[in-house]
Amino acid sequence: MSLDSVLFYVLAALVLGSAIMTITRRNVVHAAVWLISALVGVAGLFLSRGAEFLAGVQVIVYIGGIMVLFLFVIMLVPVHDESTQRRFSNQKWPATVAAVALFLWVAFIAVNGVGMLDHPGMAEPLGPGSLSENSEAVGLVLFSQYLLPFELASILLLVAIIGAIVMSKTRNRETES
């Protein structure tokens, strides 16, 4: 068993275990911390597939940005005695059955496609955009071929920032009219 395989199985166990803990914890802060652990595992998987730049982005944006935002909002929203509250909604069993059925369907497609996924002929480097130095390759493709989507993503982020500010702003009724 090579080091690559050991790394994959350890990280996969970390990701799946942390994800299960995320959706079952009663305390929202605990769920957020378990989600951070799952995201670290995903960053490790990116590293093991040679996506160093994306692993860095995952740690900085997801863990440093999005999860801190989550923890801030958890602090802003007073959670009154979560231990007396029901954790799951009334639809939990039908919902679980539906989700497992969806999983079986996707897994059926994936298993049928396994032979195609691991076709050796597909692993040849294919001209422009093929992997060399990871960050350099990502940067070259991002700023040439995907320049328009890149700019659109920046506009999306601007709109999202303004939208989040407008929605979470406190309205002062006296001064508004």
- Restricted to residues 70-129, the positions that interact with other proteins (CB under 8 A) are 70, 73-74, 76-77, 79, 85-92, 95-96, 98-100, 102-103, 106-107, 110, 114, 117-118, 122-126, 129
| C-beta of residue 61 within 8 angstroms of C-beta of residue 142 | no
Using CB under 8 A, which residues numbered 10 to 29 contact other proteins?
12, 15-16, 19-20, 22-23, 28
Closest residue by Cα to residue 41 from 19, 69, 66: 19
Contact yes or no for 50/134 (Cβ under 8 A): yes
Phi/psi of residue 2, each to 5°? -80, 165
Q: Is 144 in the site for other proteins (CB under 8 A)?
A: no
Measure the CA–CA gap between 41 and 19, rounded to whole angstroms. 10
Q: How far apart are CA 64 and CA 57, in angstroms?
A: 10
User: Is 80 strand, coil or helix?
Assistant: coil
Nearer of residues 117 and 174 to other proteins, judged by Cβ: 117
| Residue 46 contacts other proteins per CB under 8 A | yes
Torsion of the alpha carbons at 42, 48, 54 and 60, rounded to the nearest 10:
50
Please report whether residue 64 would count as binding other proteins according to CB under 8 A: no
Q: Does 40 bind other proteins (CB under 8 A)?
A: no
Q: Give least dist CB 147 to other proteins, A.
A: 11
53 interacts with other proteins by CB under 8 A? yes
Q: Smallest distance from the beta carbon of 83 to other proteins, in angstroms?
A: 13
User: Which listed residue (10, 147, 151, 163) binds other proteins by CB under 8 A?
Assistant: 163
Tokens in use for 51?
A: 């996506």
Q: Does 59 bind other proteins (CB under 8 A)?
A: no
> Binding other proteins by CB under 8 A: which of 10, 75, 142, 147?
142
